[in-house]
Amino acid sequence: MKEGLITVSDGRRVAFADYGTPGQMPVLWCHGGPGSRLEPEICAAAADRAGLRLIGIDRPGYGRSTPRPGRTIGGWVPDALAVVDHLGIDRFVSVGASTGGAYALALAAASRRVMGTVACCAVSDMRWAEGRTLVPGALDVWEAPNRQAAHAIVVAQFGEHGEHMSAYSTGDAAAEADREMFADPAAARCWERAMTEAFAHGFGGYVDDRLADGSGWGTFDVSAITCPVVVLHGTGDTLVPLAHAHHTAALVPGATLRIVDRLGHLSIALEMVSAIRQVLACVNVPSPAGR
């Protein structure tokens, strides 16, 4: 894995982690909320064997990327394109996990350079009133009167130093399949590294994620997506209900809904490589040579 840091046009820094080599199929990974550029590590070995080059990017306020309060989903697209330009990449696949699903879709809506997209256990368009009520933890933040109040709610949820985060990976709030995955020490270390970077700036990145997705997808035009999209979700997801996948699949033109029995919000990453290959097959791109 190679780390990188670029400066974009407004002077902010954007950090990324490149888990592959130039000869592989580029896959831009939009991390969850919370998350970081290190999130793709959980399936990087499988991706490498499949000939896929995973590239994770810290959104503003996460990891080593400069915070940007007030940011929007669609407004993040230039950061991602700046990274792929820096790496000399023309066309690529975008994938997004959880909160990142909307960012992967925004990339596909804005740029024909995106060959295909996977929206994995994604938070759907929150202009959908019923869907908002299905994510109670996020709903409290979405309904906060201002950023300061939202921040206070997040601290109460996660703990002053993030000490309550384990509830979502190995504790009561996690799916059985998630707890099983993190029983593997290697997977647990991947998650710990990604979360440590997620909160390098404190909770600001996560708060800004929630404020961005709370107002829905109005900052990008989902109807403009023309590339193949797989909406991937596990039936065991305890954080973003399966109804969100059905709603997203109905909004995205021509999307394929792929539901995996039992897998949870985090363990669904075990299916990510297969879903990327499914997207590539839809655009008649030969499956990258594995090793």
- CA quadruple 186, 187, 193, 196: dihedral sign: negative
CATH classification code of 2-282: 3.40.50.1820
pTM for the full predicted model: 0.95
Whether residue 128 has pLDDT greater than 90: yes
To the nearest whole percent, how much of the chain has pLDDT over 90?
89
The pLDDT confidence band at residue 288, using thresholds 50, 70 and 90, is: low
* pLDDT tens digits, 184-199: 999 999 999 999 999 9
Q: Which amino acid is present at 278?
A: Q
To the nearest whole percent, how much of the chain has pLDDT over 70?
96
* pLDDT tens digits, 89-107: 999 999 999 999 999 999 9
Report the pLDDT averaged over residues 122-151. 94
* pLDDT tens digits, 200-231: 989 999 999 999 999 999 999 999 999 999 99
Given this model, what pLDDT does residue 289 score?
54
Q: Tokens 């299916």 map to which residue?
A: 271
- Nearest CA to 105 out of 291, 8, 9, 248 is that of 248
CA angle 231, 248, 73 (to 5 degrees): 100
- Tokens (6 digits) for 210: 């929630």
* pLDDT tens digits, 1-58: 999 999 999 999 999 999 999 999 999 999 999 999 999 999 999 999 999 999 999 9
Starting at the edge strand that comes first in sequence, how are the strands of the sheet with 229-234 ordered? 2-7, 13-18, 52-57, 25-30, 92-97, 114-120, 229-234, 256-260
List the beta bridge partners of residue 57: 16, 30
